[in-house]
A and B are shown apart, each in its own frame.
Chain A
Amino acid sequence: MSDWGMQKAALGERLAAGRQHARGKVVPIPSLPAFLKAVIRSGDRVCLEGDNQKQADILATALANLDARDVHDLHMVQSGVVLPSHLHIFEKGIARRLDFSYSGPQSARIARMLFGGKIELGAVHTYLELFARYFIDLTPNVALIAAVSADKDGNLYTGPNTEDTPTVVEATSYKNGLVVAQVTEIVDKVPRVDIPGDLVHFVVEAGRPFYVEPLFTRDPAAITETQILTAMLAIKGIYAPYGVRRLNHGIGFNTAAIELLLPTYGEKLGLKGKVCTHFALNPHPTMIPAIESGWVEQIHCFGSEVGMEDYVAARSDIFFTGPDGSLRSNRAFCQTAGLYACDMFIGSTLQIDLEGHSSTVTTSRIAGFGGAPNMGSDPRGRRHPSEPWLKAGAEADPDSSAALRRGRKLVVQIGETFGDSNVPLFVEQLDALELARKLDLDLAPVMVYSDDVTHIVTEEGIANLLMCRSKEEREQAIRGVAGYTDIGRARDAKLVEQLRQRGVIRRPEDLGIDPLDADRRLLAARSIKDLMLASGGLYRPPSRFRNW
């Protein structure tokens, strides 16, 4: 007869060991090292909360300060490998295996450690995919999470940056895992209960807020005229003809330029109310002018953005807010919204090959993908129609029966033909392939697969890949917008011209875009200060973005 209840018993042992170092549920900071050593077992699967924005930084440091003789061979399952301490954990041999989604600032170091054999890589996931695995085969034994405040019963207030917390807690706590939260302070009553206390086993009063990276702040002062031209192409050549109302914007200056052109260029084109009304999007500061001029009806957020808290609270007609007034973000729900309820994803990348595969992974940097592979993919389970979805489906497959034809999500990759340090956006072969070979991976880390990409936009024009009928046409359509990169210069000029006649490639002059409009005066805000003023002083930019 099997001995049922083993996991509950194991949790009971961890709880008992933890209580030796706690008063009720509260672990005093000086006891944190001994506490972690007592509740974490070698070989545990540990979720250290952290994504591209919020970080359980106090718990990360404490975990990295453990002695590898006491705790080792952990399997880290976490959205983001972002803090130096996240990699110290591997450097010291406390953890060995890693499954993650995003590693922005640590991308070079994580690559070195993978090559050096310090990390055994499971896979680079998209957020929603990693969350899904928390419930199937990567369920954490221990979750180390972050919140704003807790009461003595463990009820948590996560504030505007709720992000991954409900998902991590759900997967861990209901499967007999241990949940430990760092909070800024312990209070008598939390402003709102984001996580019920009976799911939280211990809280650590950190005495300071968890770290949040202002990742979605783009200074309008750095937007170039080429980016403005590219943004005009996207608005006039994609947003307008498809009537894209429900969408997600990636991070980057290209989409920031689009956001800042809506109240000026978009207004001139008569697009207000016809495009960009509903978003799955973080509260980008560059959205302020469009929101203030009445373009946007509703925005659901993955996370918050540093400095946008008061603005969001004052715009509850647009954002999802709690009874306490602050933003309620939720990465899992927003990623689901971006997958199923948006008709377009538009974002930038680092490399695009001749088939249209794209990746931000290069041989020396493994940046991870965050949410891009999810939102930048065509959801095969979608069943509700919408105008852009149906139109894209018809372009891809004009001859099949309309009532049986799947629509297509618009997946747009946007960028200048030459990126930072004049590195070309277009390549013969993705670096991701070389990386997969070197690390002996079964799968090259591709961010957006070629069969999901529908359009590529550069300053030279728009390539509509839905309308390509052969591999050769697809290649020439990509070469045809690749500008003066080696890939672009090796185009078949005659074929490219034919594609242009068919409207597969459209250039600024084909769309009646005046190059003289590619001027910074067309931006609805030209600096961070302009954004602050446009918000009526509600947006409080972090100091690193203040130059006045």
Chain B
Amino acid sequence: MEKLSFRLTATRSAGGTRAQAMVGVVASGNLEVLLERSVPADTCTIDIATAAHGFDKVWDAVVRDFVARRSAGGLRISINDGGARPDTVALRLAQGVRKIEEPER
């Protein structure tokens, strides 16, 4: 298991009011993303636990693009990765910020 941590400056803060949201599942080629609204609004932290070693450069690129493209400010994000491809990671992160914006039901 490899662990990676990122603390990035976010220009746009996450919408909505939910305290947390979760998307995906831990499975081979998939990942679980937990988002919590618990850091300053101009910051996004991302902690990754991954089964696949040696992909830190790709993770770096994926999380930086994500924070630049989406409204991720104020979020502490924890990822449990089952060796997902980068496109799946990017999709789950995008789904996560959309889900935390959704009104509580």
Q: Which chain A residues have a beta carbon within 8 Å of chain B's beta carbons?
A: 224-226, 229, 416-418, 422, 458-460, 483-484, 489, 507-509, 514-516, 518
Q: Which of B40-48, B73-81, B91-99 contacts A (4 or more CB under 8 A)?
A: B91-99
How far apart sit A17 and B69, CA to CA, in the bound complex (Å)?
Answer: 75
Partner of A418, one of B70, B86, B99, B102: B86
Partner of B98, one of A417, A459, A489, A516: A516
Contact residues in B for A508 (Cβ distance below 8 Å): 94
Partner of A484, one of B61, B70, B91: B61
**What's the minimum C-beta distance from A447 to chain B, rounded to whole angstroms?**
23
Partner of B87, one of A459, A507, A509, A514: A459
Q: Look across to chain A and name the residue whose beta carbon is closest to the beta carbon of B23.
A: A516
How far apart sit A229 and B70, CA to CA, in the bound complex (Å)?
Answer: 17
Question: Taking A483-B86, A509-B69 as contacts, is the C-beta distance between A518 and B91 under 8 angstroms?
Answer: yes
Contact residues in B for A489 (Cβ distance below 8 Å): 58, 61
- B5 touches A (CB below 8 Å): no
- B85 touches A (CB below 8 Å): yes
A225-B88, A229-B91, A459-B90 known; 20 new pairs, CB 8 Å cut-off, are A226-B91, A416-B85, A418-B85, A418-B86, A459-B91, A460-B87, A483-B90, A484-B58, A484-B61, A484-B86, A484-B90, A489-B61, A507-B69, A508-B94, A509-B69, A515-B91, A515-B94, A515-B98, A516-B99, A516-B102
- A-B contacts, 24 of them at CB < 8 A, read A225-B91, A226-B87, A226-B88, A418-B85, A458-B87, A459-B87, A459-B90, A460-B90, A483-B86, A483-B90, A484-B58, A484-B61, A484-B62, A484-B87, A484-B90, A489-B58, A489-B61, A508-B94, A509-B69, A515-B91, A516-B95, A516-B98, A516-B102, A518-B91
How far apart sit A348 and B26, CA to CA, in the bound complex (Å)?
Answer: 29
Contact residues in B for A483 (Cβ distance below 8 Å): 86-87, 90
Q: Does more than half of chain A's interface fall in helix, strand or loop, or is it mixed?
A: loop
Contact residues in B for A418 (Cβ distance below 8 Å): 85-87
Contact residues in B for A417 (Cβ distance below 8 Å): 86-87
Q: Look across to chain B and name the residue whose beta carbon is closest to the beta carbon of A507.
A: B69
Chain B CB within 10 Å, residue with most, of A225, A229, A484 = A484
Question: Taking A418-B85, A484-B58 as contacts, is the C-beta distance between A518 and B69 under 8 angstroms?
Answer: no
Size of interface on B: residues with Cβ below 8 Å to A:
16
Contact residues in A for B62 (Cβ distance below 8 Å): 484
Contact residues in A for B70 (Cβ distance below 8 Å): 509
Chain A CB within 10 Å, residue with most, of B62, B87, B90 = B87
Q: Which chain B residues have a beta carbon within 8 Å of chain A's beta carbons?
A: 58, 61-62, 69-70, 85-88, 90-91, 94-95, 98-99, 102
Contact residues in B for A459 (Cβ distance below 8 Å): 87, 90-91
Contact residues in B for A224 (Cβ distance below 8 Å): 88
B95 touches A515 (CB 8 A): yes
Partner of A514, one of B85, B86, B90, B98: B98
**What's the minimum C-beta distance from B105 to chain A, rounded to whole angstroms?**
13
A422 touches B85 (CB 8 A): yes
Q: Look across to chain B and name the residue whose beta carbon is closest to the beta carbon of A489.
A: B61
Q: Which 5 A-B pairs have the closest CB atoms?
A: A484-B86, A515-B94, A515-B95, A459-B87, A516-B98
Q: Look across to chain A and name the residue whose beta carbon is closest to the beta carbon of B24.
A: A225
**What's the minimum C-beta distance from A398 to chain B, rounded to whole angstroms?**
30
How far apart sit A18 and B98, CA to CA, in the bound complex (Å)?
Answer: 73
**What's the minimum C-beta distance from B18 to chain A, rounded to whole angstroms?**
13
B87 touches A518 (CB 8 A): no
Chain B CB within 10 Å, residue with most, of A224, A422, A459, A515 = A515
B85 touches A518 (CB 8 A): no
Q: Look across to chain A and name the residue whose beta carbon is closest to the beta carbon of B62.
A: A484
**What's the minimum C-beta distance from B56 to chain A, rounded to whole angstroms?**
13
**What's the minimum C-beta distance from A461 to chain B, rounded to whole angstroms?**
11
How far apart sit A484 and B65, CA to CA, in the bound complex (Å)?
Answer: 10
**What's the minimum C-beta distance from A159 to chain B, rounded to whole angstroms?**
41
How far apart sit A489 and B64, CA to CA, in the bound complex (Å)?
Answer: 12
Q: Look across to chain B and name the residue whose beta carbon is closest to the beta carbon of A484.
A: B86
A416 touches B87 (CB 8 A): yes
**What's the minimum C-beta distance from B30 to chain A, rounded to whole angstroms?**
9
**What's the minimum C-beta distance from B10 to chain A, rounded to whole angstroms?**
16
How far apart sit A484 and B60, CA to CA, in the bound complex (Å)?
Answer: 10
Contact residues in A for B90 (Cβ distance below 8 Å): 459-460, 483-484
How far apart sit A467 and B98, CA to CA, in the bound complex (Å)?
Answer: 31
How far apart sit A229 and B92, CA to CA, in the bound complex (Å)?
Answer: 12
Q: Look across to chain A and name the residue whose beta carbon is closest to the beta carbon of B65.
A: A484
Contact residues in B for A226 (Cβ distance below 8 Å): 85, 87-88, 91
How far apart sit A508 and B91, CA to CA, in the bound complex (Å)?
Answer: 10
How far apart sit A225 and B90, CA to CA, in the bound complex (Å)?
Answer: 12
Contact residues in A for B58 (Cβ distance below 8 Å): 484, 489
How far apart sit A509 and B95, CA to CA, in the bound complex (Å)?
Answer: 12
